[in-house]
């Protein structure tokens, strides 16, 4: 990437800290990637303030050639719109992604995205705080950021955990029940490790811990660890309904009896709350329909 666009985009990100730290880090990464791609396509010496419709069109066409998923393209368009807004050029990007031929995101899962936390890989991660965060993700369906900012002395309320708004996506506090011996064991060990603090060591900042998380998990072969939330949701669904989730080989909505459909709806609402969502519909991403 040219030094000019690289410097401009980093400066733009530093001056506009919208969203959580994880959102900021992800957006900065996406912007850097777009700067690289524009440079590769011949737009040299480009400034962040020079973004035009032709640049947007060139990027979208490249992503389509690369056959990126609808979800990935929508994330990149969101970053592009953020960029255009910050330089006062909101109108150079259409408000509707359909105008660029970007399909609607697929919200109903047809195959499971659940992943397992393989013990041999977990044991290879040397950092005890990172290992504990991964175990919390598995046991409670936490997001990555939540698992790192987790303070056991605050969260552990015996029969449930409380998540602070400052830990969560969208600043939405929530409660997740403690139901199993394995959950209690993880919490007890988290207390011993963190004491009154969080699962980010005192000498590190969140962004530093995030980078270590990404580096260490990749090094041992862990990938797509958001799938731990999918695994939690499917485990809870089976526990509460008595049958597998549709995406895991269980009956579809059309195959349920009226009584089972009522139960299915109740369970989906509960799981949605435990995962930190407010809509039952989002559970189709984790469970299928």
CA–CA gap between residue 128 and residue 164 (Å, rounded): 23
Give exposure, 265-283, as e/b (b: 16+ Cβ within 10 Å). eebbebbbebbbbeebebb
In a domain, 146, yes or no: yes
Residues 235 and 188 in one domain: no
Splitting the chain (289 residues) into consecutive groups of 10 residues, what average pLDDT does each group show? 78 89 89 90 89 93 82 90 94 88 72 93 96 98 96 98 91 94 98 98 93 94 94 97 96 95 96 90 91
The dihedral of CA 40, 46, 47, 53: what is its sign?
negative
In a domain, 77, yes or no: yes
Domain count, the chain: 3
Residues 29 and 48 in one domain: yes
In a domain, 119, yes or no: no
Q: Indicate the residue among 219, 253, 270 that finishes a domain.
A: 219
Residues 162 and 83 in one domain: no
pLDDT at 1: 46
Which string of DSSP letters, residue by residue, matches 39-74?
A: HHTT-TT--GGG--HHHHHHHHHHHHHTT--HHHHH
Range of the domain at 200: 126-219
In a domain, 118, yes or no: no
CA–CA gap between residue 89 and residue 171 (Å, rounded): 29
Residues 93 and 153 in one domain: no
Residues 195 and 247 in one domain: no
Cβ 24 vs Cβ 13: under 8 Å: yes
Residues 96 and 151 in one domain: no
Q: Indicate the residue among 219, 252, 271 that finishes a domain.
A: 219
In a domain, 278, yes or no: yes
Residues 214 and 235 in one domain: no
Q: Indicate the residue among 184, 201, 219 that finishes a domain.
A: 219
pLDDT at 49: 94
Residues 69 and 30 in one domain: yes
pLDDT at 240: 97
pLDDT at 53: 94
pLDDT at 18: 87
In a domain, 105, yes or no: no
Residues 201 and 232 in one domain: no
Residues 8 and 76 in one domain: yes
pLDDT at 172: 86
In a domain, 117, yes or no: no
In a domain, 17, yes or no: yes
Residues 276 and 210 in one domain: no
Cβ neighbours of residue 144 closer than 8 Å, sequence gap 6 or more: 22, 133, 137, 210, 213, 225, 226
Tokens of 280: 């039952």
Torsion angles phi and psi, residue 21, rounded to 5: -60, -35
For the entire predicted model, the pTM comes to: 0.71
DSSP 156: B
Residues 90 and 23 in one domain: yes
pLDDT at 2: 55
């Amino acid at each position: 990437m040219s030094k000019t666009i690289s410097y401009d985009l980093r400066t733009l990100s530093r001056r506009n800290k919208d969203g959580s730290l994880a959102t900021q880090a992800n957006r900065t990464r996406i912007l850097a990637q777009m700067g690289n791609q524009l440079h590769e396509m011949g737009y040299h010496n480009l400034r962040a303030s020079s973004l035009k419709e032709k640049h947007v069109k060139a990027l979208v066409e490249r992503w389509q050639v690369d056959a990126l998923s609808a979800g990935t393209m929508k994330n990149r368009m969101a970053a592009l719109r953020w960029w255009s807004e910050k330089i006062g050029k909101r109108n150079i990007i259409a408000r509707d992604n359909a105008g660029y031929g970007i399909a609607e995101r697929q919200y109903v899962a047809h195959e499971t995205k659940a992943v397992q936390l393989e013990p041999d890989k977990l044991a290879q991660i040397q950092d005890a705080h990172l290992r504990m965060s991964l175990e919390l993700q598995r046991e409670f369906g936490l997001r990555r950021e939540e698992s790192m900012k987790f303070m056991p002395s605050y969260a552990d309320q015996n029969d449930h955990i409380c998540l602070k708004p400052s830990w969560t996506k969208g600043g939405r506090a929530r409660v997740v029940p403690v139901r199993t011996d394995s959950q209690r064991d993880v919490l007890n060990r988290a207390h011993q490790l963190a004491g009154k603090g969080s699962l980010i060591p005192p000498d590190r900042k969140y962004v530093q811990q995030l980078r270590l998380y990404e580096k260490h998990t990749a090094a041992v072969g862990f990938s797509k660890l958001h799938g731990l939330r999918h695994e939690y949701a499917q485990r809870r669904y089976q526990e509460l309904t008595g049958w597998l989730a549709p995406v895991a080989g269980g009956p579809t909505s059309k195959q349920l009896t009226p009584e089972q459909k009522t139960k299915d709806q109740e369970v989906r609402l509960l799981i949605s709350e435990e995962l930190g969502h407010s809509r039952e519909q989002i559970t189709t991403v984790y469970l299928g329909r």
